[in-house]
Structure 1
Amino acid sequence: MTEILFYHLTESRLEDALPGLLERSLAKGWRVVVQFASEERRDALDHHLWVYRDESFLPHGSDSDGSGALQPILLTVEAGREDNDPQVRFLVEGATPPPLDRYVRAVYLFDGHDEAQIARARERWKIEKAAGHAVTYWQQTDEGRWMKKA
C-alpha cells in the first residue's frame, strides 16, 4: 500500500513549497520523480531548483536532458517516466499519475487558488482512497507550515 499525501497550497506558491519537500525526501534516502502537467512548468521549476536558495543544492535533472537514470530527482511530464527508479512520486498542478502501487509515497501538490486543481485533487482523493491507499490531507497554516487535516 502506498502512502499518499495531498498538500493544499494556500499561503505559498509551488516554487516555494516544493524544494523543502524534495529536500526531506532526499534526506530519507529516497529517489524522486516530479511529474508536471506541462513542459513549460517543468522547465521553469528545473531552473528554479538551481537558484532557489544560495546555501542549498538539490541534485536533479529533466527528462529533456537524457540523464534521468543518474538523477536523485527527475523532473518529467510523462506519467510512465521512472528512469531513476524512484521511491516517491510528486504530482503537481493536476498531472495524471501512472499506477502508484510501486511507490513508497506519492504526493499531490495543488494550488488552493485554482478551482480546477482543487477539483482534480478531490477526484484523485476518491480514486486513491477507493484503491486502498493510505491517504492524508495537509493544508498550509497562515504561517505557511503544514497542518494535517485528514
Structure 2
Amino acid sequence: MTQVDFYILQPGGRGNRYTLAARLAEKAWSSGHRVLIATESKEDLRHMDRLLWVHRDQSFIPHGILGKADPELNPVLIGTRQHAGDEHDVLIDLCLSTPEYFSRFERVAECVDQEPGPLQASREKYKFYQGCGYPLAVHNIS
C-alpha cells in the first residue's frame, strides 16, 4: 500500500512548497529513487524545472520534463497532474487535488506550506487519504 508523507513547512520556515519539493527530490534521488514531481499547471511545471536547475550551487539534480526527457537519463521527472508516464516509485505532489494515479506509487510526498489555498487543499487531501486507510506520516519542517 502507498505510504503517504505530509511535509509541512512551519511558519517562518525556509522557502515554500516548491523549494521543499526540490529538497525532497534531491534527497530521494540521492537515495537511489526515481521521482515524479506532479504540478498543477504547465506554469508550475516550468517554475519547478527552473528551480531544480538552481536549487543548490554545489549539486545538480538530473531532471527533465515528462514526455520530453529520456527517463533513462533523468531519474527526476516533472509532469502535470494528468500524466505519470511509467513512473511508480516516489511521487512528490504539488497539485491542489490528489492525482488519480497516486496509488501506483510506493510513496507519496505532499508538500505543504502556509499559503491559504494550498494549505486548505492539503487538509482535504489528508482527510481523503485517512478515509481510504493509507498509512500517513506528518513531518514538520522548519
TM tier, shorter chain? Answer: 0.7 to 0.9
Following superposition, the deviation at residue 32 of structure 1 comes to 0.7
1:39 aligns with: 42
1:1-150 → structure 2 map (5 Å cutoff):
1-10=1-10, 11=13, 12-63=15-66, 66-70=68-72, 71-83=74-86, 85-112=87-114, 114-140=115-141, 144=142
Following superposition, the deviation at residue 95 of structure 1 comes to 4.6
Following superposition, the deviation at residue 61 of structure 1 comes to 0.3
Q: Quickly say closer, same or farther: Cα 1:16–1:100, change in 2 above 3 A.
A: closer
Q: TM-score under structure 2 normalisation?
A: 0.85
Q: Relative contact order: is structure 1 or structure 2 higher (C-alpha 8 Å, sep ≥ 6)?
A: 2
The runs of 5 or more residues in structure 2 that have no matched partner are: none
RMSD, aligned α-carbons = 1.8
Q: How many residues align?
A: 138
Contact 1:88–1:106, Cα closer than 8 Å, also in 2: yes
Tell me which stretches of 4 or more aligned residues in structure 1 moved more than 3 Å.
none
The runs of 5 or more residues in structure 1 that have no matched partner are: 145-150
Q: Secondary structure at the match of 2:46?
A: helix
Contact 2:21–2:92, Cα closer than 8 Å, also in 1: no
CA distance in 2 between partners of 1:59 and 1:90 (Å): 16
Percentage of matched positions with identical amino acids: 26
Contact 2:97–2:125, Cα closer than 8 Å, also in 1: no
Q: Secondary structure at the match of 2:60?
A: coil
Q: Secondary structure at the match of 2:112?
A: strand
Q: Quickly say closer, same or farther: Cα 1:115–1:15, change in 2 above 3 A.
A: closer
